Homo-oligomer: A and B are copies of this chain.
């Protein structure tokens, strides 16, 4: 196994996985790198290179076994077992997310909110809790992953509490640069940024974004 893996490879791995679920559902037995590549608008050699970082999963002259490759990628992501996810703030997210999440190995195990009025409400079978039960609940439920969607002014303060509670990764929706220790993995999603990119694209017919060599609707947003 090699040592340096491009982030783009990991992003594509997730998209291959989504594709493989679909293929498995449809009853396909094998799949070619060419097919996966087409669906992402990339070249097949890149698909093979991506997979080669982790092993030799294919059969020459045949392709990849759908079920096997699916299992391999799940293993690569550490998704052999489900992961508990806590949502801090915005309980509305939970409703929308829950359907997709369960199917793909993530369980919304707890929801927290700053607003005392909302505490006690049940969303998708999960009771909204107050912030003071954060540490105890996260540790009790073995929650290593958190989605953060709170108002910007309190984001860092809450992030600190999460770190103290032993969380290992944060998916941050707050448009603020969070400071966390290096062992906590952080991923930021700024929705305004995505909208700005869209307005840029809408506004400029003159300028051409490089983005689409081929046509890869899911890549680059990372």
Contacts and interface: CB of A to CB of B under 8 A. Distances in A.
Interface in A6-39: 6-7, 10-11, 13-15, 17-18, 39
A81 to B, nearest CB: 11
Interface in A155-177: 168-171, 173, 175, 177
A interface, over-half SS: mixed
Contact of A18 (B90, B168, B175, B195): B175
Contacts of A200: 10, 13, 76-78
A206 interface: yes
A169 B195 CA distance: 9
Interface residues of A, number: 78
Interface in A59-112: 76-79, 83, 85, 89-93, 95-97, 99-101, 104, 106
